[in-house]
Amino acid sequence: MNFKKSIGWAGILSLVGVALSFCSQLVFSYFFGTTSALDAYWVAFAIMYFLAFPFISLREALVSEIHERSLKDPAEASIYFSKAITLILTVALIGSAVGIIFSKPLINLVVGGENTSFHSEVLVKLLWLAPALILLALSDTFNGLLTSYNRAILQMLSRILAAGSTVVIIALAANWIGSQALVLGFVMGQAVNVIVLTIVLYRQGLSFKPSYPSGLGSTFFYLSGALFCSYGINQVYAVYEKSTLLSFGVGLVSAFQYSVSITNIIITVLGLSLANLLWPRFLNHVANQNTRHFYSESALSIKILLIILGWVCALIFLHAQWVVETVFARGAFAGEAITLTSLCLKMTIFSAIPVSINFVLGRAMISARASKSIMLVGFTTAISGMLILFLAGQFREPRLAMSFWFIANILGCTLSGILFLRQTQVQGATFRNSFFWILRYVIAVLVSVALAYEFLDNLNHFSNFQLINIVCQSVIFTLIYLVIVAIAGLFKNLPFSRLMGRA
């Protein structure tokens, strides 16, 4: 399948994924609003992912290794896969044991020991989520390995299947077992994904036999080690985030998570989909030592992605309250929950830009096995985010706490771009041109949003119906944005046909 058709299928499946994301958030908001029960689930979930980061780093490093071996000898790929999966399962089992045995100390680190009822809510969820680490290890690894076989579309289908299973189970079980339905939905979704992906990979010729994890190679462990450090600090960062947001009162963790879920829809549809489609191409460019195409395709994709993301994020920023009311305002979600989530959405939506770019650049650097660069970006993002959260907690500034994700990822993305340019060994003129293009882009987005605030408030007279006003305002903003982007010269030298060419 050529790249143009792949993008078409990715777009269709992304729309299905968006629909499921909306459904999941509707279910969450309808049954749980911004309650302490939902806060407890997100805290337990963060602790679980903290325990998961060791095998996630192994999974990422495995993709390149299986890709290379599958091209040469499928039987060798299966032998290597068996050794790596044995190691990953061993690490997952250790993580599960730690989660169960040390559950209370882990929860105390995040929420403290004062609120015993909240502590108990988190404990009940964590004791179910910790064993699910084994399912998560298999599901994540199998899904990632589809990249090795250039099966990005199947990747998206498996995620849709898992997400759909989770939503259905939560909706059916919420009135029966309350917030424990959130845990049950996650566990069953992962189980369904593992079964389906096992069949898919077997048909690709990949089989598993328990094997002693020796002979995986220094390259695998070197990249895993770099990713281990990067993901480790990021999971500490995620746990610290929950702890800080909890300190501002009940509901902020859930409100922030709702806003992140909307932002993640944009990241998944535009950023992650493109990154996964480009990843096999990056692997081929690196394997063929084609540095020129590696850089030019990455730069072209990122520029187009930035222009689209700027428009989408600005539209959501301008209509944040309407978006929150449309998506969530029903059942247990009302009043203060709407206000708090709308504010969080304004603070998080532009994070979709640096996070999406980081996905593309991250896949590029993993393909090039730039271990030190990956680790440095992860550390920079996490440490700057934790510093912002610390300052927010010290000065009791909830808005600063809400904006930590955006600020930290901007810093991480900037460093990632610089390191990628160094990795591809571009000339100094390319550095300067890239810098001035980004500067013009930032100015164009800021000017467009400023002009929108100046004019759109006066455009509510189109109709008595809010939706018609939103549509009219969106059309006018789109025209403003396109004009400003064109004046800034951002469309210059963007040959879309090159991106749409055959892989």
Supply the pLDDT for residue 101. Answer: 93
Supply the pLDDT for residue 501. Answer: 43
Supply the pLDDT for residue 283. Answer: 81
Mean of the pLDDT values across residues 107-111?
Answer: 87
pLDDT over threshold 90, residue 478: yes
In the 8-state DSSP scheme, what is residue 488? T
pLDDT over threshold 80, residue 25: no
pLDDT over threshold 50, residue 497: no
Mean pLDDT of the chain: 84
Helical pair 404-423 and 352-367, crossing angle rounded to 10 deg: 30
What's the token pair of residue 329?
């305002």
Question: pLDDT category, 498, cuts 50, 70, 90?
Answer: very low
Q: In this predicted model, what pLDDT tens digit does every residue of 61-72 receive, in sequence order?
A: 888 788 778 777
pLDDT over threshold 60, residue 496: no
Alpha helices in 33-102 (DSSP H): 36-72, 74-101
- What span, in angstroms and rounded, lies between the C-alpha atoms of 442 and 306? 10
pLDDT over threshold 80, residue 291: no
DSSP string, 95-145: HHHHHHHTHHHHHHHHH-SS-HHHHHHHHHHHHHHTTTHHHHHHHHHHHHH
Lowest mean pLDDT among 1-15, 80-94, 171-185, 438-452: 1-15
Better-scored residue on pLDDT, 238 or 487: 487
pLDDT over threshold 90, residue 341: yes
Q: What share of the chain is helix, strand, coil (3-state, %, to 5)?
A: 85, 0, 15
Which of 283, 490, 266 has the alpha carbon at shortest distance from 366? 283
Mean of the pLDDT values across residues 350-375?
Answer: 88
Asked whether the whole model's pTM tops 0.85, one would answer: no
Contact 355, 306 (CB under 8 A): no
pLDDT over threshold 80, residue 494: no
Supply the pLDDT for residue 62. Answer: 85
Which of 294, 247, 287, 188 has the alpha carbon at shortest distance from 400? 247
Residue 208 backbone phi and psi in degrees, to 5? -125, 135
Question: pLDDT category, 268, cuts 50, 70, 90?
Answer: confident
C-alpha atoms less than 13 angstroms from C-alpha of 152 in its C-beta half-sphere: 25
- What span, in angstroms and rounded, lies between the C-alpha atoms of 122 and 133? 16
Which of 130, 137, 134, 118 has the alpha carbon at shortest distance from 243? 118
Length of the chain (residues): 503
Q: What is the C-alpha radius of gyration for the chain, rounded to an integer number of angstroms?
A: 23
Helical pair 36-72 and 273-287, crossing angle rounded to 10 deg: 30
Better-scored residue on pLDDT, 414 or 58: 414
Residue 489 backbone phi and psi in degrees, to 5? 75, 25
Mean of the pLDDT values across residues 316-343?
Answer: 88
Contact 125, 166 (CB under 8 A): no
Q: In this predicted model, what pLDDT tens digit does every residue of 401-458 receive, in sequence order?
A: 999 999 999 999 999 998 888 888 777 777 888 889 999 999 999 999 998 877 766 5
- What span, in angstroms and rounded, lies between the C-alpha atoms of 322 and 260? 16
Give Cβ neighbours of residue 288 (< 8 Å, ≥ 6 apart). Answer: none
Angstrom CA distances, 92 to 57, 102, 131, 149, 196, stand at: 12, 15, 9, 25, 20
Name the percent of the chain lying above pLDDT 90.
Answer: 34
Supply the pLDDT for residue 502. Answer: 41
Which of 120, 109, 97, 118 has the alpha carbon at shortest distance from 46? 109
Residue 396 backbone phi and psi in degrees, to 5? 55, 50
Question: pLDDT category, 499, cuts 50, 70, 90?
Answer: very low
Supply the pLDDT for residue 500. Answer: 41
Supply the pLDDT for residue 458. Answer: 58
Question: pLDDT category, 503, cuts 50, 70, 90?
Answer: very low
- What span, in angstroms and rounded, lies between the C-alpha atoms of 169 and 147? 28
Contact 295, 367 (CB under 8 A): no
Most confident of 28-42, 282-296, 382-396: 382-396
Q: In this predicted model, what pLDDT tens digit does every residue of 119-152 receive, in sequence order?
A: 899 999 999 999 899 999 999 888 888 877 767 6
Three-class DSSP category at 503: coil
- What span, in angstroms and rounded, lies between the C-alpha atoms of 158 and 224? 25
Supply the pLDDT for residue 365. Answer: 86
- What span, in angstroms and rounded, lies between the C-alpha atoms of 69 and 46? 34
- What span, in angstroms and rounded, lies between the C-alpha atoms of 185 and 173? 9
Which of 58, 8, 31, 71 has the alpha carbon at shortest distance from 333? 31
Lowest mean pLDDT among 139-153, 225-239, 387-401, 449-463: 449-463
Lowest mean pLDDT among 22-26, 380-384, 414-418: 22-26
Angstrom CA distances, 167 to 135, 299, 382, 485, stand at: 18, 37, 30, 39
Residue 131 backbone phi and psi in degrees, to 5? -65, -25
pLDDT over threshold 60, residue 22: yes
Which burial class, exposed, middle or buried, applies to 429 when counting CB atoms under 10 A from its CB (0-12, 13-18, 19+)? exposed
